[in-house]
Amino acid sequence: MKRTLGVCYYPEHWPEAIWREDARRMTAAGLTWVRIGEFAWSRLEPEPGKLQFDWLDRAIAVLGEAGLQVVLGTPTATPPRWMIARHPDMLAVDAYGRPRKFGSRRHYCFSHTGYLDECRRITRLLGERYGRNPHVAAWQTDNEYGCHETTLSFSDAARVAFRDWLAQKYQSPDALNRAWGNIFWSMEYRSFDEIDLPNLTVTEPNPAHVMDFRRFSSDQVVAFNRAQVDILRPLSDAPIAHNYMGRITEFDHYTLGADLDIASWDSYPIGFLSDRLEATPDHKASFLRQGDPDFQAFHHDLYRSVGKGRWWIMEQQPGPVNWAPYNPIPLPGMVRLWTWEAFAHGAEAVCYFRWRQAPFAQEQMHAGLLRPDSAPAPGLREAEAVARELAEAPEVDDGPADVALIFDYASAWAWETQPQGADFDYFRLVFGWYRALRRLGLNIDILPPDTTDLSRWKLVLAPGLFTLSPELRAALPSCPGQVVFGPRANSKTPDFAIPADLPPDLPGLVAKVTRVESLPPGIGVALEGGGQFLHWAEEVETSARVLSRRADGLPALIAADNLAYLAGWPDDITLRRLLSQLCADAGIATVDLPETLRMRRAGGRRFWLNYGPEPVTMAGLSIPAAGVVWTEI
Ligand code: GAL
């Protein structure tokens, strides 16, 4: 597949007189795509109903005539000020009951039907005008659903919609009372109209209530997006994408992605390292100017799955950003490395955010490919280098993986609702397993929790899965290798109760988790042969094969046929040892990579990515600091 580059551009930020020169420089740099429009509502419709699309017509024409292909965004993440006057109750409300104000972006509630109609209207206008425009080659819906904690809203509109959602799901208040266990604390309801949103309660609300609110909130995002897709489909043949984010789990991306053609995500490796990752101060210092060596790859693999194979980077960090607590400058080479890493994971396109650094407003300290004075910023040179490399070898085939890891949004909601220990975070758990696999030099596929066929993978891993879906249960025998479940797997019913026969209830594995404990930092449960469980440990009664034990003799890892269950949260070394053993048993070759080096097989090549500030030698190859090299396999 041919790989391409692009950039995010805001023609409305700049005098029209410079658009042509900007476009010329973009193509000269080797860029193919330009994403525009996603925040431009106040210029498209300065007064309600008073449309001004002529400037956008000209911008698209100028960019297109220069040879660029346009990704056109719907502007629904930034409703203009008049919209609030028109729909004062459209603002999202936070968990403390405070409406979120106008003055930045994403200030809407997904459940507000009046705002949804406005979004349909502007989307239809754009689709009718540009759906067949030859330069508009892709669409982006809205911008970063869920950014700035905007998925959950505790508004009046959300309450009305939630009651309706519950009524459809349960049909009767009695059924809901039984499912939630509302006899506890006399929480029973006589009608759906009595049910409120689960905020501002005296102590914790019923977890079943919260879990349904989380499912509902996710469904609202999906429905909001679908409304735009349904309008664009008949008006345009161009593919439709959305730009997702790093470590955002508030809505089910697989469900939303099923309505789209392309998944894309916004990759800010250095920003994420400082504000979105649990890591030691040493780790953060070592990768300060490079980003974490596994965080981007995890999301590449996740969004490849969300996009059913088709995915992009819609925004790539080009230099220092403005929004993390500290915003260091990337090491020379990192912009190129991040870009190639995405291609090696199958990205069709990588677009940089943004073309020119804006001298005004909130993001004036955020780098672009150009400085505010229009001179090239260092990121542009690296983008040009990738463009030259792509011109010589544009084809990069996707890489096959032997190992699959299941990632499930509902599990993230469940363990946020009931962590039972302050450090039990689902993303952190799964990401730890991912990182250990990467250190072994493996390609990894990420799968949704309702995967129906496991026949392609020699090893499938499912730590922390809230419930085992009927689809996955039925698919287990199709795996030619082992399926390994981790702590807390299948430990609840879908109604958020403890299963009658106790977890993990896995077919053919006779075992019961009888007690669990969570542990504070620094305290672990020792394992036989070294290592420990941290954060979380379980006591298991079983007649299955015990593959390893805790130091106190209780089972740690048990197995029957092709299923295994790990009864705790292993420390990093134990996890690596366990996964290398499982790979060896499955006939999967592994390598022990140094801390800064990662490797991915893609097509006929091996990509070596050095996230470190020093060169690394591996397999007779020298990989420069902050560098990427590839070899033929
Ligand atoms: C993204 C967002 C962009 C811009 C960027 C800055 O989250 O989609 O509009 O704000 O961050 O890094």
Domain boundaries along the sequence of the chain: 4-148+224-392, 403-586, 597-632
Residue 372, amino acid: P
Residue 147 Cα to ligand 1 middle (Å): 9
d(CA 322, CA 271): 8
d(CA 633, CA 617): 17
269 close to 320: Cβ distance less than 8 angstroms: no
Residue 559 Cα to ligand 1 middle (Å): 46
pLDDT of residue 619: 86
389 φ, ψ (degrees, to nearest 5):
-65, -40
Does 353 contact ligand 1 (Cβ within 6 A)?
yes
Among 222, 253, 234, smallest CA distance to 123 is for 234
Contacts of 502 (CB under 8 A, 6+ apart): 512, 513, 514
CB atoms closer than 10 angstroms to residue 418: 16
CA angle 265, 268, 269 (to 5 degrees): 115
Contacts of 26 (CB under 8 A, 6+ apart): 7, 9, 34, 63, 66, 68, 355
147 Cα nearest atom in ligand 1: 7
Residue 321 Cα to ligand 1 middle (Å): 9
Q: CA-CA distances (angstroms) from residue 114 to 108, 149, 217, 226? A: 11, 21, 17, 16
Does 266 contact ligand 1 (Cβ within 6 A)?
yes
Does 625 contact ligand 1 (Cβ within 6 A)?
no
245 Cα nearest atom in ligand 1: 7
Pairing of strands 349-352, 311-316: parallel
Among 311, 335, 403, smallest CA distance to 1 is for 311
Domain 403-586 matching CATH 3.40.50.880: the answer reads yes
* H-run or E-run covering 28: helix 19-28
pLDDT of residue 633: 85
What is the residue with the minimal CA distance to atom 10 of ligand 1?
363
Query: Could you say which DSSP state residue 205 is in?
Result: P
d(CA 371, CA 385): 18
CB atoms closer than 10 angstroms to residue 521: 9
What is the residue with the minimal CA distance to atom 12 of ligand 1?
321
Query: Could you say which DSSP state residue 353 is in?
Result: S
322 Cα nearest atom in ligand 1: 12
Does 215 contact ligand 1 (Cβ within 6 A)?
no
Fold match between domain 4-148+224-392 and domain 403-586: no
pLDDT of residue 223: 98
Compute CA 289 distance to the chain's CA centroid, rounded to the nearest angstrom: 22
d(CA 62, CA 55): 11
Does 324 contact ligand 1 (Cβ within 6 A)?
no
50 φ, ψ (degrees, to nearest 5):
-95, 100
52 close to 40: Cβ distance less than 8 angstroms: no
pLDDT of residue 425: 98
d(CA 562, CA 321): 47
**pTM for the structure as a whole:** 0.98
Residues of the chain short of pLDDT 70, as ranges, are: 394
Contacts of 450 (CB under 8 A, 6+ apart): 469, 471, 472
CATH of 4-148+224-392, one of 3.20.20.80, 3.40.50.300, 3.40.720.10, 3.60.110.10: 3.20.20.80
CB atoms closer than 10 angstroms to residue 559: 18
What value does the CA radius of gyration of the chain take, rounded to a whole number of Å?
A: 25
Dihedral sign from CA coordinates of 494, 249, 218, 183: positive
448 close to 407: Cβ distance less than 8 angstroms: yes
What is the residue with the minimal CA distance to atom 11 of ligand 1?
266
Residue 518 Cα to ligand 1 middle (Å): 37
pLDDT of residue 394: 63
Residue 268 Cα to ligand 1 middle (Å): 9
List, by residue number, the catalytic residues.
144, 315
Helices (H), 236-333: 253-257, 269-275, 281-286, 295-306
d(CA 535, CA 429): 10
Does 265 contact ligand 1 (Cβ within 6 A)?
no
CB atoms closer than 10 angstroms to residue 166: 21
Does 272 contact ligand 1 (Cβ within 6 A)?
no
Q: Which residues of 260-295 are buried (b: 16+ CB within 10 A; e: fewer)?
A: bebbbbbbbbbbbbbebbeeeeeeeebbbbbbbbbb
Longest dimension (CA), the chain: 77
Residue 20 Cα to ligand 1 middle (Å): 25
d(CA 277, CA 275): 6
Polymer length of the chain: 633
d(CA 442, CA 448): 19
Q: Which residues of 423-445 are buried (b: 16+ CB within 10 A; e: fewer)?
A: bbbbbbbbbbbbbbbbbbbbbbb
Does 366 contact ligand 1 (Cβ within 6 A)?
yes
Does 38 contact ligand 1 (Cβ within 6 A)?
no
